[in-house]
C-alpha cells in the first residue's frame, strides 16, 4: 500500500475518502456575489444560457474517474480507539497495525456502508442533485474482487451512479473506516486497490471508452494523478479535442508539490479548476506566482496556457466559511457563503466534494456558472448537517 500523506491538517491520504483525502473542512453554503471587473467586460460563465426549464439529460452525460473507497462508519468506544492507537479527531493512512481494524469494526459494531472517495463522492452528489435520469453520472476506478468490492458496487448502484470498476485480485478494495465517538470522527484510510487502476486494462477497452465519449462534462480529483496520470491525460485531451468540459481539483497541497509535472501536463486542458484556499496557496508558491492574495492567485491560474481556446478557463476556490472566489477571463467574482447555525453543523469534511457535485449537477444542464456555484453552496450546506458525505432522499434546490 502506498503511503501518500498530505493535505490540510498534514495527514490526508492521496485518494482516500472525502476526509482522508482532503483532511480539511470546506464549508461553502450560500449566497449572492460581488465582482471585481477587469478592463475587458464580459459575461462570467463557461457557457451562455439563461435559467429556465431544465432540458432532459441523457445517461452518462457526466464522467468521473478516481479512487473508490468503501466508507465504513460506526460508533465505537474509547477502547477500540486505544487498541489501534487512534486519536478521536484525526485522519491517517492505515499501517500494518491497522490490518485487522476493518474486519473488527464490522464484527463488533453496527456499521453503515457508503460509496466513498473524493471523485466518487462528487459524482454521487451530482447524481443526487440531478435525480433523473438515473445513471446520468458514470464513474471509473479500481476495486478488489472481494466482499467489500461487492458492497461498494451495491452502494454505487443505490446512488444510481453508473459505476464501472476495474476489478483485480492483487489488492483488496480500498476502505476508509470512520470511527465515531460522540461528535468526533477518527478516519483510517486503506487505499489498497484504489492505487491499482490500469489505463490499458480498463479505460482503453472499447466498451469503456464509449462511455467516456458519451459524456459532456468530465471531472477528476487531483488525487488520481498519483495513480494513473496517463489515464487523466487521455480523458482531458479527448474532452478538449471535442470541445467538451474537463474539470480538475487541486485536491491537496502535496499534489501541487510532489505531482507538479503530471498536474501541469494536464492543466492546459482544464476548463474548470477547483480547490480550497490552502491548496491554492501551495499551488501559487509552486508556480512562482509571488502573491498570497487568493483573488490574484485565481486570476493568474485562470491565465495559464490553454489548448482549447473556444472555452475560457474558470477557476473556483472555496475558503471554508469565507467567500468563494471565481476567476474568469474578464473578472474575479466573490460569492459570500451563508454560514449555517453552528449547532446544525455535524461534519464539514464532505463540504468540498459536495460543492463540486452540486456545481457539476448544473453544469451538465448548460446553466450559467453563477447557478452552478449556487448549487454547489446548496449541496455543501446539506452535507455539513449530516455525518459523512450523505444526503436525504431528494434535494430541495430551486
Between the two ends of the chain, the Cα-to-Cα distance in Å is: 44
Q: For residue 46, what pLDDT is reported? A: 58
Listed residue (372, 378, 324) closest to 219, CA to CA: 372
Task: Indicate whether 105 pLDDT > 80.
Answer: yes
Give dist(CA 90, CA 221) in Å, integer: 22
Q: Known catalytic residues?
A: 353
Superfamily of domain 24-68+117-171+192-383: Ribokinase (3.40.1190.20)
Please state, in angstroms and rounded to a whole number, the distance separating the CA atoms of residues 165 and 144.
9
pLDDT of 233-276, one tens digit each? 999 999 999 999 999 999 999 999 999 999 999 999 999 999 99
How confident is the model at residue 41, as a pLDDT?
A: 37
- Distance, C-alpha 330 to centroid of its chain: 27
CA distances from residue 153 to 68, 350, 388, 394 in whole angstroms, order as listed? 10, 21, 18, 21
**Which range (6-15, 44-53, 91-100, 166-175) has the least confidence?**
6-15
| Mean of the per-residue pLDDT values of the chain | 87
pLDDT of residue 86: 95
Average the pLDDT over 227-236 and give the result. Answer: 99
Mean pLDDT within 43-55: 51
Strand partners, 335: 324
pLDDT value at residue 93: 86
Is residue 199 scored above 50 in pLDDT? yes
What integer pLDDT is reported at residue 40 of this predicted model? 39
> Which pLDDT band, with edges at 50, 70 and 90, does 324 fall under?
very high
The predicted structure's pLDDT at residue 38: 43
Q: Given a cut of 50, is residue 144 above it in pLDDT?
A: yes
Q: Is residue 24 predicted with pLDDT exceeding 80?
A: no
Give pLDDT tens digits for 67-99.
999 999 999 999 999 999 999 888 888 999 999
Q: What value does the mean pLDDT take over residues 300-323?
A: 96
Report residue 175's pLDDT band, with 50, 70 and 90 as the boundaries: very high
Kindly report the pTM of this predicted structure: 0.86
49 confidence band (pLDDT: 50, 70, 90) = very low
Indicate the burial class of 155 (C-beta count within 10 angstroms; 0-12, 13-18, 19 or more): buried
Q: How far is residue 386's CA from residue 121's CA, in Å, rounded to a whole number?
A: 14
Q: What is the pLDDT of residue 35?
A: 57
Q: Please compute the mean of the pLDDT values over residues 192-205 and round it to a whole number.
A: 98
Band the pLDDT of 164: cuts 50, 70, 90.
Answer: very high
Grid coordinates of 83 = 487498541
Cα 66 from Cα 20, distance rounded (Å): 14
- The whole-number pLDDT of residue 72 equals 93
Residue 132 has pLDDT above 90, yes or no: yes
- CA–CA distance from 241 to each of 64, 96, 303 (Å)? 18, 45, 20
Neighbouring CB atoms inside 10 A of 90's CB total 17
Q: How confident is the model at residue 160 (pLDDT cuts 50, 70, 90)?
A: very high
Bridge-based pairing state of the strands 331-335 and 34-37? antiparallel
Closest among 137, 191, 198, 208 to 167, alpha carbons compared: 198
Query: Could you read off the pLDDT of 334-380 as tens digits, one per residue?
Result: 998 877 777 777 766 778 999 999 999 999 999 999 999 999 999 99
Amino acid at each position: 500500500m502506498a503511503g501518500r500523506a498530505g493535505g490540510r491538517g498534514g495527514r490526508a491520504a492521496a485518494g482516500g475518502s472525502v476526509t482522508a483525502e482532503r483532511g480539511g473542512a470546506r464549508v461553502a453554503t450560500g449566497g449572492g456575489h460581488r465582482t471585481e471587473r477587469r478592463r475587458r467586460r464580459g459575461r462570467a460563465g463557461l457557457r451562455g444560457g439563461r435559467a429556465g426549464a431544465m432540458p432532459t439529460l441523457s445517461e452518462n452525460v457526466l464522467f468521473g474517474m478516481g479512487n473508490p473507497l468503501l466508507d465504513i462508519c460506526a460508533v465505537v468506544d474509547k477502547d477500540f480507539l486505544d487498541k489501534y492507537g487512534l486519536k478521536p479527531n484525526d485522519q491517517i493512512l492505515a499501517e500494518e497495525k491497522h490490518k485487522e481494524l476493518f474486519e473488527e469494526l464490522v464484527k463488533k459494531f453496527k456499521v453503515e456502508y457508503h460509496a466513498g472517495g473524493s471523485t466518487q463522492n462528487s459524482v454521487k452528489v451530482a447524481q443526487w442533485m440531478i435525480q433523473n435520469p438515473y445513471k446520468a453520472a458514470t464513474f471509473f476506478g479500481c476495486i478488489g474482487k472481494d466482499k467489500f468490492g461487492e458492497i461498494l458496487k451495491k452502494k454505487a448502484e443505490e446512488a444510481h451512479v453508473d459505476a464501472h470498476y476495474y476489478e483485480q485480485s492483487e489488492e483488496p478494495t480500498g476502505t476508509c473506516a470512520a470511527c465515531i465517538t460522540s461528535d468526533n470522527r477518527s478516519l483510517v484510510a486503506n487505499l489498497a486497490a484504489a492505487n491499482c487502476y490500469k489505463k490499458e486494462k480498463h479505460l482503453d477497452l472499447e466498451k469503456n471508452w464509449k462511455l467516456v465519449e458519451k459524456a459532456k462534462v468530465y471531472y477528476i480529483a487531483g488525487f488520481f494523478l498519483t495513480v494513473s496520470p496517463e489515464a487523466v491525460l487521455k480523458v482531458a485531451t479527448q474532452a478538449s479535442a471535442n470541445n467538451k468540459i474537463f474539470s480538475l481539483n487541486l485536491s491537496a497541497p502535496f499534489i501541487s508539490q510532489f505531482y507538479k509535472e503530471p498536474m501541469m501536463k494536464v492543466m492546459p486542458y482544464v476548463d474548470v479548476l477547483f480547490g480550497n484556499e490552502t491548496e491554492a496557496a501551495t499551488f501559487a508558491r509552486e508556480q512562482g506566482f509571488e502573491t498570497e492574495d487568493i483573488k490574484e492567485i485565481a486570476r493568474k491560474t485562470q491565465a495559464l496556457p490553454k489548448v482549447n481556446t473556444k472555452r475560457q478557463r474558470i477557476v473556483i476556490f472555496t475558503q471554508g466559511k469565507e467567500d468563494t472566489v471565481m476567476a474568469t477571463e474578464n473578472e474575479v467574482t466573490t460569492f459570500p457563503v451563508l454560514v449555517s447555525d453552528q449547532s446544525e453543523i455535524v461534519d464539514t469534511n464532505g463540504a468540498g466534494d459536495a460543492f463540486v457535485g452540486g456545481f457539476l449537477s448544473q453544469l451538465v444542464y448548460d446553466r450559467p456558472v453563477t447557478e452552478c456555484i449556487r448549487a454547489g453552496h446548496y449541496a455543501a450546506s446539506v452535507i455539513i448537517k449530516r455525518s459523512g458525505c450523505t444526503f436525504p432522499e431528494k434535494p430541495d434546490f430551486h
